[in-house]
Structure 1
Amino acid sequence: MTETFLQSGTIYYACEWLIRILMLMVIPLRRTPEATRSWLLLIFFLPIPGLLLYLAIGRPRFPRWRGQRFETAASILSPRLQPLQCVDAPGEAARLAAKLGGFPAVSGNSVELLGDYDGTIDRLIEDIDGARSHVRLLVYIFADDATGSRVAAALARAVERGVAVHVMFDPVGSHRWKKGALAMLAATGAQVREALPFHWLRERTRRDMRNHRKLFLIDGTIGYAGSQNIVDKGFRTGIENRELVARVTGPAVAEMTAVFLSDWFLETEVMLDDGVTIPASTGNAQAQLLPSGANYPLEGFQTLLIGQLHRAVRRVVITSPYFIPDESLLEAMRTAVLRGVEVDLIVSAVVDQPLVSLAQRSYYDDILRAGIRVHLYRDYLLHAKNVSIDGELGIVGSSNVDLRSFQLNEEVSLLLHDRGSIGALETVQAGYITDSDPLSIEAWRKRPRIRKIAENIARLVSPLL
């Protein structure tokens, strides 16, 4: 009995060291230093549980079949968007974004920024009620609550008029409402699909690689892009969301359409359109769509943001509810300040995800010491995600400034290149700062020691969040 126990212990001990040695060769491949450090730390302390967790969520890539399907969709859609290529890119950021996401900057658009939560839903419903051809919604959360029911009722009215309605939502983001939402949407007559559904018996990747995009399209001529889901603004008890959405008309809507059609094709192998129609010019705004995700060779939003931080000369304003940067982004922000650039970070004082908030706060001391100004938005969860740089570039979209949005989620950002649209975004951001409390390094360093310890522990696992 004792001998058997000793043999079992020796085998277990040998397995632990075999796992540690093998993972030293496997984990560093195609990972940031921060993620590598966190995974190796976990594996060395808890080899077998760490290995099981790694097998579940440790490989940030899609299976081969999905990559092949993505390439097929691109080959179908690219020729249909060829007329957009004739528009000259207005600057370096536009050229970089075109390389990263495949879409050019286009002029002739009208862009309206919507910050009133219920007002945005009202406007969407009004547009759905005016739809004549099709309505397409891609969203992270579609709830069967009061807000979702209002939108579903509008979709049902559209179907009754003969409008084709397609809805795609993320089953993990919508898990609280999934069953009810599926039933509610099916009752409208819309075609409904889950984005990145999880199947135990089918080759898939991490369950936490999610489609986090928010795109609402009406007749191929009106498009919404931003941070807002289809759910009540107070769906978390005691917390009310504040969002920012861009309502766009003009040629840029064709790029939004292409992203939706590609995502639908990835889940169904059905290309909805015989062709993508390029909408007529409606204004003077220059806009460009930047999709990002695991199917793209680089982290698009992160690469663009870091590149523009290094080129900034006057001011950068970053708004994000979740701020968990890697070292390259932190270094770009520090370097910008050293060059004399004003860098403002607007984050929410209201917390909805405690562990993420702890990890986020662990960076405050570093960025405050670097001279970056931190503004804590009062009273509401500021869920909006936007950036302005030097009055030359504006970004409104779904991507947070964290490793999850950079590397794991399917995201979409609308880039603004004209002074009018960027000025409107800067006005919105000025309002955020007015409604925020500045954070000083002196006040921050007075927080309790136990909180500092919790923040440092959360920071160690932040690359895994």
Structure 2
Amino acid sequence: MSDLSPGYWLFLLDWLIRLAALAWIPTRSAPAAARSWLLLVGFVPLLGLPLYLVLGHPWLAKQRRIRQARASQLIRHRQAGLKQLRWAPQSVEDEVADVARLAERVGDFMPMSGNAVELLDRYDESIARLLADIDAATHEVHLLYYLMYDDGIGRSVANALQRAAGRGVRCRVLLDAVGAKPGLRAWARPLRASGVDVRAMLAGGLAWRSLSRMDLRNHRKLAVIDGHTGHIGSQNLADASFVPGHPNRELVVRARGPAVRQLAALFASDWLIETGEQLEVGGGDGDGAAGTVAAQVLPSGPAYPFQNARDVVIALIQRARERVVLATPYFVPDDATLSALRIAALAGVDVLLVLSASNNKPLTRWAQEAYYEELLRCGVHIALYRPHFLHAKHLSVDDGIALIGSINLDIRSFALNAEAGLLCYDAGVVARLRGIEAGYLDDAERLDLARWSGRPRWRRSREGIARLADSLM
């Protein structure tokens, strides 16, 4: 045995890793993810296994899961006393009722009537409204964002928070430790010196081992001002061109009414998970009727027992009878979502997928292109929006349901990121969203099956290889 060469031992180690991965990975990962990881380990065992140990399983520290369960219990308990705010469709047989029940069971929040909803799809306008609301705050400002940059908009938000804190307003800010690293580096110290409580979520570096899988991120984007005004959508705290060559187009909901209490509770949940401190989510103005829209917050993330966003998106697609429009910058669906789209189109539903012609992630773009031909053959319409990087994330079903928030139609959003969306059960909101969607189509290229099928073979190969990594993106 002592005469055996190092190459022999390396060969033996390679095969031991492959066999161990085959026995272990499928028991800890979904089938699609397991296939991707086994393929990687099969080709490069000495690299694949360490990567799987670090990134292969979306685990969270036990403390975080306990705190999420505690937050969910508090939300459900306190909603029990708000029965007068619960919204119910005219018929319990209504398919809208099914969606609302599902969203409540997986995400804790019940549908509430009496909300006013504005759709802000102009980048500068939505930031201006947020800054104006912070400047008008008299009691409390809570911001929760994935990304904040050291640029003009980051500076404007930091200055508004400092002015609010100077007036005696209690300001709390949660920023993702990785996505908002430039903003944390630039603004955390001066904001704290001004009295703003700034915390980093899901800290990276060496701290990740005791908190979670290192690439899990809090991707939510929301603000709550004085408990009566809320913002939720796709827009970060950064200039529109923070990615060079890809100026963003976004969509943000500015809400007033009882649903703002839910946004406040979601912020309080994340604050509890990060700090261990339980915030009081009061009633006050947030409980008063501000409009006629029925709405419901949908949170999602690895701390929940189910893939909330994925399950509700599939339910919405399945319940469409006439038309469903989906807008997303990243489209790398799992098998269940892909099947729902295919079945809806084959059943005669007008399914429109609006994507961005430009993309700041080449591997993701190649992977999503691998789905186009299959969807086009089923009758799904695909439009590529050209003027900007379409970063907006929303879905509308028939004439009565809209979902707007931070949720991408990809496996990362469904399984790995903490996300948030607002479900609106209102024909007026859907009509306004349809107008925004029509604006996209005026500046979009419709994909044609015959022309797309004629693309070069090397592109097909690139797409297929990229698609194999769908669960790793």
| Distance in 1 of aligned mates of 2:355 and 2:382 | 7
**Seq. identity, %:** 43
Correspondences of 1:86-125 after superposition (within 5 Å):
86=84, 87-90=86-89, 91-125=97-131
For residue 396 of structure 2, give the secondary structure of its aligned residue in structure 1. strand
Which of 113, 134, 139 does residue 128 from structure 1 map onto? 134
| Segment of structure 1 superposing worse, 65-74 or 352-361 | 65-74
Distance 1:304 1:60, change over 3 A: same
Distance 1:343 1:197 in 2: 39
Equivalent residue, structure 2, for 1:240: 247
Equivalent position SS for 1:83: coil
Aligned partner letter, 1:335: I
Give me the whole-angstrom Cα distance separating, in 2, the residues matched to 1:21 and 1:286: 53
* 1:396 counterpart residue number: 404
Q: Does 1:186 align with 2:186?
A: no
Q: CA deviation at 1:156?
A: 0.7
* Corresponding position of 2:33: 35
Q: Stretches of 4+ moved more than 6 A in 1? A: none
Change (3 A) 1:378 1:333: same
Q: Report SS of the residue matched to 1:358.
A: helix
Q: Which position in structure 2 is the counterpart of 1:161? A: 167
1:372 aligns with 2:377: no
In the superposition, relative to structure 1, how do residues 179 and 46 fare at CA in structure 2: closer, same or farther (>3 Å)? same
Match of 2:49 in 1: 51
Quote the residue 1:457 is aligned against. 465
Report deviation, 1:147. 0.4
CA shift in 2, pair 1:207/1:85, >3 Å: farther
1:75 Cα deviation after fit: 3.2
Structure-2 separation of matches of 1:5 and 1:47: 25
What is aligned with 2:258? 251
CA distance in 2: counterparts of 1:317 and 1:45, whole angstroms? 39
Secondary structure (helix, strand or coil) at the match of 2:26 reads coil
Confirm or deny: 8 A CA contact 1:101 1:290 kept in the other structure. yes
Question: CA 1:162/1:295 → structure 2, altered by over 3 Å: closer, same or farther?
Answer: same
Partners of 1:301 and 1:406 within 8 A in 2: yes
Q: Distance in 2 between matches of 1:120 and 1:302?
A: 27
- Structure-2 change in CA distance of 1:245 and 1:274 (3 Å): closer
Amino acid at match of 2:33: A
AA matched with 2:256:
T
In structure 2, relative to structure 1, the CA distance for the partners of 1:257 and 1:27 (3 Å cut) is same
What SS does the corresponding residue of 1:363 show, helix, strand or coil? helix
Shift of 1:238: 2.0
Structure 1 residues 201-210 or 390-399, which shifts more? 201-210
- The residue aligned with 1:311 is 319
Deviation at 1:103, TM superposition (A): 0.5
1:357 equivalenced with 2:356 (yes/no): no
Map of 2:224 onto structure 1: 217
Indicate the residue corresponding to 1:298 in structure 2: 306
Q: Secondary structure at the match of 2:206?
A: coil
Distance 1:143 1:276, change over 3 A: farther
Q: Counterpart in 1 of 2:435? A: 427
Structure 1, residues 405-447: CA drift from partner, whole Å, max 9, x if none?
A: 0000000010010111122112211211222111111222233
Is residue 2:261 matched to residue 1:263? no
Partner residue of 1:174? 180
Q: Distance in 1 between matches of 2:447 and 2:190?
A: 44
Q: Quick one: distance in 1 between partners of 2:366 and 2:238?
A: 26
Which segments of 5 or more consecutive residues in structure 1 lack a partner in the other structure? none
CA contact (8 A) 2:175 2:184 kept: no
Matched-pair contact (CA < 8 Å) for 2:383–2:444: yes
Alpha carbons 1:346, 1:375 under 8 Å: kept:
yes
CA distance, structure 2, for counterparts of residue 76 and residue 320 of structure 1: 32
Shift of 1:275: 4.2
Deviations 1:223-248 (CA, angstroms, capped at 9, x unpaired): 00100000000111122100000000
- SS of the residue corresponding to residue 97 of structure 1 reads helix
Equivalent-residue separation in structure 1 for 2:327 and 2:262 (angstroms): 24
Q: Which residue of 2 aligns with 1:13?
A: 11
Deviation, 1:73, is 2.6
Matching residue of 1:195: 201
Kept in 2: contact 1:112–1:248 (CA 8 A): yes
How far 1:187 sits from its partner (Å)? Answer: 4.3
Contact 1:226 1:245 survives alignment (8 Å): yes
TM-score, length of structure 2 as denominator length = 0.94
Distance 1:387 1:75 in 2: 29
Normalising by structure 1, what TM-score?
A: 0.96
* TM-aligned CA deviation for residue 93 of structure 1: 0.9
Q: 1:443 to 1:181 in 2, by over 3 A?
A: farther
CA contact (8 A) 1:359 1:455 kept: yes
Partner of 1:411: 419
Contact 2:376 2:449 in 1 (8 A): yes
The secondary structure found in structure 2 opposite 1:362 is: helix
| Conserved 8 A contact 1:81-1:254 | no
CA distance in 2, matches of 1:192, 1:387: 32
Question: Which structure 2 segments of 5+ residues have no match?
Answer: 90-96
> Which residue of 144, 148, 164 corresponds with 2:150?
144
The answer to whether the Cα contact below 8 Å between 1:225 and 1:245 also exists between their aligned partners in 2 is yes
Aligned with 1:384: secondary structure? coil
